[in-house]
Chain A
Amino acid sequence: MSNLFLRHSLVRLGAIFVLLLMVVSTAWAKDVTDALGRVVKVPDHVQRVVLGEGRLISAFALLDRDRPFQRIVGWQNDLRKLDPNTYAAYVARFPEVKDIPLIGQASEQSVSAEQILALKPDLAVFSISGHGPTEHSPVADVLEQAGIAVLFVDFRVNPLQGTRDSMTALGQALEREKQASAFLDFYNQHVERITQTLGVIDEQQRPSVFLELLAGVWANPGHTTGKGGMGELIRLVGGRNIAEGVVPGALGDISVEYALKADPDVYILTGNQKPGVMLGAGIDNATAQASLKQVLARPQFADLRAIREGNVHALWHDFYNSPYNILAIEALAKWVHPQTFADLDPHQTLEQINRQFLDTPLAGQYWISEQK
C-alpha cells in the first residue's frame, strides 16, 4: 500500500517537474511584434530558420552579416528561379547555399508543411504576400500547432512601414537588435532627407510616372502596380503613378492605349533577367544598357514622349521585395525631380550600405538611365 503511494507521489513529482520545465522553457522566449501586428513568441537563440521566400535572405544579409545563411535550414527556390544573378552571387561566396533543402518551388501551393516540420526550425519567416505561405495559409497554421514560431514580414505591400516593422521584428527575433536599428536609422535618415527636401507638393507639380514591371518578361505590355508596392515609392518621391486609381488592385496590366494617352513624363522599367532589362548582381553597365535598348525596341511604347525625350530609366526588379528599397527610392527621386535632387547620390548610398551593413556587397548595376 505505502509502496503504491510512494510510486504515485513519485509519478506526481515527476509530472510537476516536467510541468515546471515546460513553464521555464516557455519563459526562454520573447514577444516579437511582426509586420501583421501579431505578437509572436520567439524562442531565445534562434538557430534554425525556414524562409517562406528565398529572397528574404536580403534582410538576413543585413543582420547576420558575415554569414547570412548560418541559420537558414530551408527555403523556397524562388531566389534561384526569379533572380538568378543574385543567387549566383551568393553561391560564388557561399557554395553551401546550393545544398539548402527546398520547402517548395516558388509558390504557396508548392510548399510542403511536412518538409518544414521535418527540418525542425525554431522560426519560420513568411512574407505577408507573394510567393510563399501567407497569413491564412494552412502551412502557417500547421507550424503554429507544432509550436514553431511563425513571423510575418513585409517588404512589398507597404514597402516603407513594412521595412521598418519587419527589420525591427527580425532584429529582435534573431537577437540582432543593434544591426537592425543601425540600418533603420540609416534608412529613416535617407527617407526623411527626401520627404523634407520635397516638402508639401501639389498634385499638379507631380511629374507623371509610368512604371512597367518586368518589361519584356511579362506576357502583356503595361504590367504595373496600382495600390501600394512600388507605387507607394513613386508617391513618396513626389511623382504620380499613372496607374494609380486605374489598376484597381495591387497588380494589373494597363492598356497600351491608356499609357500612350496618359503621356507620362518619366518611363521606368523594372527587370533582372533576359528577355527583360538585365540588372542586379554581377551585371555590368554595358550589358544593362544593351538589354534596355532591346526592351525599348518593343513597338508598343516606342512613341512615348518620355522615350523620345530620353526620360527612360530602369530599376532592379527585386527592389520591390527587399529592405534595399531605399536605393530604389533615391534613384526614383532623382529621376522624378532631377533638379530638386541634383546633389542626391544613390551610388554613394549603395557604397555606404556595402561598407556599413553588408559583408556580401551589392556588386553590379542595380539601376540605370538610358544612355543614347
Chain B
Amino acid sequence: MTSIANPALLAASQGYRRLLARRFVLLLVMGCALVGAVLLDLSTGSSGMGLGDLLHGLLHPQSLDVTDRVIIWNVRLPYALMAVLVGAALSLAGAEMQAILNNPLASPFTLGVSSAAALGASLVIVFPASSALLSRDSLVALSAFVFACASMFLLHGMSRLRGAGVETLVLFGIALVFSCNALVALLQLLATEDVLQQLVFWSLGSVARANWDKLGILALVIALTAPFSLHASSRMTLLRMGEERAQSFGVDVRRLRFFSLLRISLLSATAVAFVGTIGFIGLVGPHIARILIGEDQRFLFPASALVGALLLSLSSVVSKIIMPGVIVPVGIVTALVGVPIFVALVFKRGRQL
C-alpha cells in the first residue's frame, strides 16, 4: 500500500487516527458528564427525595405512596428527560443551522423559530379552537409546531426567491423574530385576563410542561433525524470549507441545505412546541462543542447534542436550587448561563467567529 511506502503519509495517518481517538474519548467524556448531570437533576427537588430513594422507588414501585409515585413519574423523570431531549434537539438544530448558513449567529432562537412557535401557541390560547380529536394542550403544541415549521420554510423561500446569500437569510430571520414578538405582545393586549397568564407562561420556556407523550414524540423525532444528520455531516464539513469547494467534491449543496433545513425545522419546532421559548441553548451549545472538538462536523453534531443536553440538564438543576421550593423558569436560567459563556466566546475568538 502507498501509505506504508510513504513515511510522511504514515505519520499523518497515525496523527489523524490519534485525533479521531481523542475526539471519540471527548464524546465519551461528554456522555458521562451528561449521565452525571441527569442523575443530579433526578436527585434534586424540594421534596428532599434523594437519588437512593428515587432508585429504590423505581425498583420497588409497590413501596411508593401516591405522592412519591407522582413525584417520580410525573415530575422528576419527565422533567429531567425533557431537559436532555430538548437540549439535544435545539443544540443539534443550531449546529446544523450554523453549518448550512455558515454563520455563527444562526440558531433556532435567533432566526425566529422560537418566536414563531410562541406566536402559534398564543393564537390558539387567545382564540381557542375546538377539536374533537385533540386536547387543548395538543392543539397549542400543534399550532406552535406548524408556525415554527412555516417560519423555516418562509425563510428558505424568501432567500430562494431573491436568490439572496446566506447572510440575507440571517437578516430575514432577525426580522421574523421581531415581527413574531410584536404580534405576541399584541395578542397579550387582546387577551382576556384568564388567558393572559398562560401567554406569559408559554413565552417563558419551562420543562414543567413535560409528559410522557411529549417525551415519546420528541425522542422519535430525534431518532428519525439524528442518523440523517450524521450521514450528512461529512458533506457539511466540506461545505464549511466553502460552497465551491464542496461542489467540486461532488456535493449537491442545494439538496444538502434543503434536507438539513427540514431536519432543523422538525427538531426545533417539536422542542419549542413542547417547552416554549428556551433561548441560547441552540446558539451556545454548538459553539462550546466546536471549541472542545473542532470543526469536523461528524464529531461536532453529536458533541453539540451532548453539550446542549448537558447545559439544559444543569440549568434544570440550577432552576430548582436557587430558591428552595420555588422554580426559577429554566428559560431564564439558560439565558443567564448562556449569555456569559457566549460573551466570553466572542471575546476569545474575536474576529474569527
Contact = CB atoms under 8 A, between A and B. Distances in A.
A2 B131 CA distance: 57
Contacts of B198: 134, 136-137
A229 interface: yes
Interface stretch (A55-63, A86-94, A114-122, A279-287): A114-122
A1 interface: no
Given A109-B204, A118-B46, A146-B67, A103 B326 contact: yes
A364 interface: no
B193 A156 contact: yes
B327 A129 contact: no
Interface stretch (A244-252, A303-311, A334-342): A244-252
Interface of A (DSSP majority class) = loop
Interface residues of B, number: 40
Contact of A250 (B71, B196, B329): B196
Interface string B325-338: 11111000000000
A142 B70 contact: yes
A117 B190 contact: no
Interface of B (DSSP majority class) = helix
A142 B70 CA distance: 7
A118 to B, nearest CB: 3
Nearest to A74: B325
Contact of A128 (B66, B194, B210): B194
A247 B211 CA distance: 37
Contact of B196 (A74, A109, A120, A251): A251
Contacts of A146: 66-67, 69-70, 74
Interface in B24-76: 45-48, 66-67, 69-71, 74-76
15 contacts: A105-B326, A107-B200, A109-B200, A112-B326, A113-B74, A114-B45, A115-B325, A117-B71, A118-B45, A120-B67, A136-B136, A136-B137, A228-B193, A248-B190, A249-B191
Given A110-B329, A228-B193, 10 more contacts: A105-B323, A109-B201, A109-B327, A111-B326, A112-B326, A113-B74, A118-B48, A228-B192, A248-B189, A250-B194
Interface of B: 45-48, 66-67, 69-71, 74-76, 136-137, 188-198, 200-201, 204, 206, 208-211, 320, 323, 325-329
Interface of A: 74, 77, 101-105, 107-115, 117-118, 120, 128-131, 134-139, 142, 145-147, 156-157, 227-229, 247-252
